[in-house]
Amino acid sequence: MKQLIPAINTCSRNRGMHHLKVAAFINVHAIIFLVSTLFLSIHVYGQTEFVTYKNGLIYSEKTMGKLAHIVDSLNLKYKVCDFNKSYNSKLQTIAHTLKLDTTNVAQAKKDIENNISFKDFILKYPNAIVNSNVLVVKYKYKNYRGNDIVEFNKVDLNGDDSFQISKNNNDNLYQQPLKNSWVFSYHKKTNYSKESITAFYFTEDFSAISLPLKYARQIGYSDCLIDTATAKFKDNLKTGWVDLPNNWENLPELTKRSLLEEMRSTKVVGGCSMDSRPRTHAVNIAMLSAETTNWEVFLKSHLDIMNDRFDRVSDGSYAYAQRQTYIKELEELNINVVDLLVGISLRVENPASNHYYGSIGRLGRAISESTSKEEFKAQILYMIEDENLDHYNRVLAYFLFASYNNYLTNKKEQTMNAKLLAGSIKTLPAYLKENIKLKEE
């Protein structure tokens, strides 16, 4: 299997463009040739990343047959999965945010440390930029130094007002009650920025609710299908690249398995936006996994391609369009793609170890290409309107629907969907719906 664009780090090509531009400036014919070639390359590469087989998929008929056989043989396993596990929503609350970078910042810091009331603070510091009644979700994780971190995130409803504060999890901050208290971040004056303070003031404690059984079963189905007990990669990865021989399909079974293990022991990091190697590496792993009947590794690799979950040194938005989602490959198999994608779009506080979370933006794009998009659409709108679902997941459902609609090519369909979305948004709590700015169609 070969790509239209070879799986190489094309970043070095970009550095070489300077010399081409100089030559083009000198020679008008070179300009015409350069522009024509660049346009053709973008046009071809933008159409598809990988060569497809006669079945229109990136996996051959033989490979798809093996995958279908694996799925059929695993159906009994799925029936005994624990679909009745209870899942709790992410810990969330309503809060106020503020930023002050004008006068008396040091004194404001002292007042916050002394737990001044929010009302008194805004009276004393009228120049503070305040955003009242926002949804805040908190997370905990280990940073690259191995320190336990608590991150407080304002849910940005319109993609134009990001606000978050990270703190060390000292004295188990993650579990501490925070009603009527502050979490802040102070920044000293530098040559490049003013002295400033940013803060959350929490009007209520963080809380979580149980997800309704319907959603819990979808999360359970996704965990069962993906198999959280098996990792895509081995431990102690080396950074590099492993070639897939042109005759790989004719290799002995043991050789294929050995090659797969080598690929699962290798981490491929993209050098820039146009570096296709990370995605090609995942496709190669997926194909070898299918050939060696390793469903768990196959599905994780394919979902990584769908969600574009790869490490890159840099990544520009201009490169996103060429990276397809390949949802059709999953729909050709005997699995419930709707439950799978919804299950990995929901966010919960108590996921299974190695639970797979999908990218909301990428999942929306995949849904726009799905043969089941009407079923997806009905479910997502229902989630937005479901008063038994926590506020954060309802907002994520809104994001998911907006992403799906954005990727549709039929303008009439987009307009109709926008009206449906506007109707669903009206069912959200006032502090959310009043702050959502819908794109005008």
Q: Is residue 31 part of a domain?
A: no
Residues 187 and 71 in one domain: no
Which residues form the domain of 418? 51-80+215-433
Of 181, 202, 223, at which residue does a domain stop?
202
Distance CA(419)–CA(405), nearest Å, equals: 11
CA-to-CA distance for 39 and 55, rounded, in angstroms? 28
Is 127 within a domain?
yes
Residues 182, 286 within the same domain: no
Is there a domain that residue 3 lies in?
no
The verdict on 316 and 223 lying in the same domain is yes
**Share of the chain residues as helix, strand and coil, in percent rounded to the nearest 5:** 50, 15, 40
Q: Supply the mean pLDDT for the chain.
A: 87
Q: Can you read off the two tokens belonging to residue 104?
A: 């008396």
Query: By three-state DSSP, how is residue 15 classified?
Result: helix
Instruction: Note the pLDDT of residue 20.
Output: 37
CB contact set of 48 (below 8 Å; sequence gap of 6+)? 4, 324
Residues 312 and 428 in one domain: yes
Q: What pLDDT is recorded for position 370?
A: 96
Mean pLDDT for 90-114 is 96
Query: Given a cut of 70, is residue 26 above it in pLDDT?
Result: no
Q: Are residues 241 and 116 in the same domain?
A: no
Tell whether 137 and 116 lie within a shared domain: yes
Higher pLDDT, 284 or 36: 284
Q: Are residues 258 and 293 in the same domain?
A: yes
| Residues paired with 312 in a beta bridge | 270
| The domain boundary residue, chosen from 163, 178, 202 | 202
pTM: 0.88
Q: Which amino acid is at 321?
A: A
Do both 179 and 288 map to the same domain?
no
pLDDT of residue 29: 41
Task: Read off the pLDDT of each residue in 132-143 and give the average, rounded to a whole number.
Answer: 95
Q: Evaluate if residue 127 carries a pLDDT over 90.
A: yes
Residues 188 and 267 occupy one common structural domain: no
Residues 43-67: pLDDT tens digits?
333 345 887 899 999 999 999 999 9
Tokens of 267: 């981490």
Residue finishing a domain among 169, 202, 235: 202
Give the model's confidence band at 334: pLDDT under 50 very low, under 70 low, under 90 confident, else very high.
confident
Strands (DSSP E) contained in 171-277 are 181-187, 196-202, 238-239, 266-267
Task: State the pLDDT at residue 74.
Answer: 72
Is the residue at 143 inside a domain?
yes
Cα distances (Å, whole numbers) of residue 272 to 8, 246, 319: 11, 26, 10
Task: Provide mean pLDDT across the span 270-283.
Answer: 92
**Overall number of domains in the chain:** 2
Look at residue 4 and tell me if it is in a domain.
Answer: no
Q: Which residues contact 145 (CB under 8 A, 6 or more apart)?
A: none
- What gap in Å lies between CA 45 and CA 279, rounded to an integer? 14
State residue 160's pLDDT score: 80
| Residue 151, domain member (yes or no) | yes
pLDDT, mean of residues 86-110? 96
**Residue at 261 is within a domain:** yes
Beta bridge partners of 202: 95, 181
Do residues 401 and 327 both lie within one domain? yes
Q: Looking at the domain assignment, is residue 30 inside a domain?
A: no
Pair 333, 229 in one domain = yes
393 and 249 within one domain? yes
- With a cut of 60, say whether residue 79 has pLDDT above it: no
